[in-house]
Amino acid sequence: MNRVPAATRALRILRHLATCSGPVPATAIAADLDLPRSSVYQLLETMAEDGFVTHLPEEHRWGLGIAAFEIGSAYMRHEPLERLARPLLRELTEKTGATAHLGILHSADTLYLLKEHPPHVATLITAVGVRLPAHLTASGRALMCHLPRVQVRALYPDRDSFVARTGLGPTTPGELREVLSQERRQGWSSEQGQVTSGFSSVAAAAFDHNATPVAAIGLTVPSTHPVPLTALAEDARAVARELTRRLSGRRPGRRRGART
């Protein structure tokens, strides 16, 4: 039972404004959230007094205020993604014996933020801070396969956008589109020898509250590793679901508030 409806409505308004491309009229907010106009106006005026929203009187629109920006900046200073993912990666490495890593998209590259590896394993190129072509990495493709096609096309407009490391992997927009479509359907991505010969990787995406892919949980093993990639992929997917939950996120196609 919701004991503080005004607080819930205010948070819904803030979250809605965060998803908009720019300031919007109060009437549109009320309609989109199915809230009474009078309540929306009262809440907006209250939030404006504390700087969480800004009123643009000439445009009759409302947008996020400086206080919302400050909270977002403070959130980022606490490195939430890495802090939430680090213990999950450690457990994943202990369970699978594979090298686990957390990657994000940085333009057309996969940027690795965390890595946990078991003792006595070969050093991998996927070290923290390393960037690799996203179309070759399982982590990069796990994220890209959930992006709009136009966004992927902007990252890889033609053949000249593709580079190769070992001679394997997609080399044209069409090939990449086909790979991403297949991996989106199966729910995880993989690469075998496309980044480093003799090593294979699997990865699954974690999502934010807008169902946007924000990070990938990846596992890398020698190609001779006895555990099938499908089994490793299920482990990566389970951790990605848990990270999604910790981020208060939701997978594509899920209603906000539904279990991930």
Comparing C-alpha atoms, which of 253, 254, 251 is closest to residue 243? 251
- Asked, for residue 255, whether it belongs to a domain, the answer is no
- Asked, for residue 49, whether it belongs to a domain, the answer is yes
What pLDDT band is residue 19 in, cutting at 50, 70 and 90? confident
Tally of domains in the chain: 2
Residues 123 and 237 occupy one common structural domain: yes
Helix (H) or strand (E) holding 231: helix 229-246
- Asked, for residue 62, whether it belongs to a domain, the answer is yes
What tokens were used for 118? 């078991």
- Asked, for residue 254, whether it belongs to a domain, the answer is no
pLDDT digits (tens, 9 = 90+) for 51-109: 999 999 999 999 999 888 777 766 665 578 898 999 999 999 999 999 999 999 988 99
Residues 126 and 237 occupy one common structural domain: yes
Among 75, 108, 137, identify where a domain stops. Answer: 75
Residues 60 and 87 occupy one common structural domain: no
- pLDDT higher than 80, residue 189: yes
Q: What percent of the chain has pLDDT over 70?
A: 90
Residues 131 and 61 occupy one common structural domain: no
What tokens were used for 167? 């001679």
Q: Dihedral sign, CA of 110, 113, 119, 120?
A: positive
DSSP characters for 18-82? HHSSS-B-HHHHHHHHT--HHHHHHHHHHHHHTTSEEEETTTTEEEE-HHHHHHHHHHHHT-HHH
Residue type, 183: E
What angle (nearest 5°) sits at the alpha carbon of residue 103, between those of residues 99 and 106? 150
Among 75, 91, 124, identify where a domain stops. Answer: 75
Residue type, 85: A
99 — phi, psi (to 5°)? -80, 125
Residues 65 and 90 occupy one common structural domain: no
In 3-state terms, what secondary structure has residue 174?
A: helix
Answer with the residue of higher pLDDT: 121 or 242: 242
Contact assessment for residue 186 and residue 165, using Cβ atoms and an 8 Å cutoff: no
39 Cβ neighbours under 8 A, 6+ residues apart:
9, 30
Provide the CATH number for the domain around residue 43: 1.10.10.10
What is the C-alpha separation between 236 and 244, in angstroms, rounded?
Answer: 12
Residues 201 and 236 occupy one common structural domain: yes
- Asked, for residue 252, whether it belongs to a domain, the answer is no
Residues 26 and 101 occupy one common structural domain: no
- Asked, for residue 149, whether it belongs to a domain, the answer is yes
- pLDDT given for residue 20 in this prediction: 85
Cα 52 to the center of its chain, rounded Å:
25
In 3-state terms, what secondary structure has residue 153?
A: helix
Provide the CATH number for the domain around residue 119: 3.30.450.40
Q: Which segments of 161-228 does DSSP mark as H helices, in order?
A: 173-186
- Asked, for residue 135, whether it belongs to a domain, the answer is yes
Contact assessment for residue 88 and residue 72, using Cβ atoms and an 8 Å cutoff: no
What is the C-alpha separation between 155 and 11, in angstroms, rounded?
Answer: 34
Residues 97 and 152 occupy one common structural domain: yes
Residues 88 and 206 occupy one common structural domain: yes
pTM of the model: 0.71
- Domain span at residue 24? 5-75
- Asked, for residue 260, whether it belongs to a domain, the answer is no
Among 27, 50, 75, identify where a domain stops. Answer: 75
Average pLDDT, the chain: 89
